[in-house]
Amino acid sequence: MMIGDHIGAYRITGTLPNGAYSAVHRHQARKVQLVVAPARELVEYTRTIQALPHPGIAGIVDRGALADGRPWLAIDVPSGLALFELIARRPMPSVEVAALIYNVAGVLAFAHEHGIAHGNLTLHSIVLVTGRRDLPVCITDLGRDGTGDPRADIHALGTIAYRAVTQLFPTQITDSVPAAEPALADLIVRMLAQDPDERPTAAEVRAATAEMIDVDDRVHVTARFAAPKWTPAPPIAPITSDAAAAVAGEIVAKPRSTD
């Protein structure tokens, strides 16, 4: 697939590190990630998403099949800024990083409580949502089956936090975090522990960061943006290709929150 090609009602605008495509709806102000994969893999991914009814986890909004029969899914991308774009511009102060960890850890804790690990948490899979004080972050790009180790998610979030503060990758053995306030630095070091059993849980991470920030500051992760513009997706058409029959009837779009 090339930039400018169309999949269903979507025009491809680029490729993503996870192998998906970034795309926009041809007639609506909607951005999505398009995932093209074998039917069985998409069924597993859909079941994972459907098991996590959380507004901070990007949901499925459309589906279909290519001319050659390969099925595809459209994953909702909320209006906002991908975290890697912000960190590429500037390091984040400790209070912003603490708020970021607090919000992402809340989503991870919900997933872990449901027995599902993200398995692919990166700067590219965290979106700082525009204009939503009640929903400041949204996580995309969950691992296809959600069977990873939750402790690996904590290490990944620690790496992200370290990079947010320093704009650098942590060393193999990290015992300090330059420019971070002491409490935050200590938490990040524990999240990056080489022994997975020494890392805090997502719930413990959220509790620790809650003590570092004021209640009113917990959603102030990034700079102000304009209010998001969103148009509801059209009804989802069934997949009719024989090659995609395995996912027909099994993939159900996740309703978008209207709060």
- Judge whether 230 and 61 are in contact, CB under 8 Å: no
What is the secondary structure of 58-97 as a DSSP string? --EEEEEE-TTS-EEEEEEE-SEEEHHHHHHH-PPPHHHH
Q: What is the pLDDT of residues 187-241, one digit of tens each?
A: 999 999 999 999 999 999 999 999 898 745 444 444 333 333 333 334 444 444 4
Across the chain, which distance is largest between two alpha carbons, in Å? 58
Q: What is the pLDDT of residue 133?
A: 67
Q: What is the pLDDT of residue 134?
A: 66
Round the CA-based radius of gyration of the chain to a whole number and report it. 19
CATH 3.40.50.300: does it fit domain 80-217?
no
Domain residues of the chain, as ranges?
Answer: 6-78+229-244, 80-217
Blockwise average pLDDT, block size 10, the chain, 259 residues: 92 88 89 90 88 90 90 89 90 93 96 93 91 80 84 97 94 86 96 97 96 61 35 42 45 49
Q: What is the pLDDT of residue 146?
A: 75
Architecture of domain 6-78+229-244: 2-Layer Sandwich (3.30)
Q: What is the pLDDT of residue 145?
A: 75
Amino acid in the structure at residue 195: D
Write down how long the chain is.
259
pTM of the full structure = 0.79
Closest CA to 111 of 161, 49, 155, 59: 49
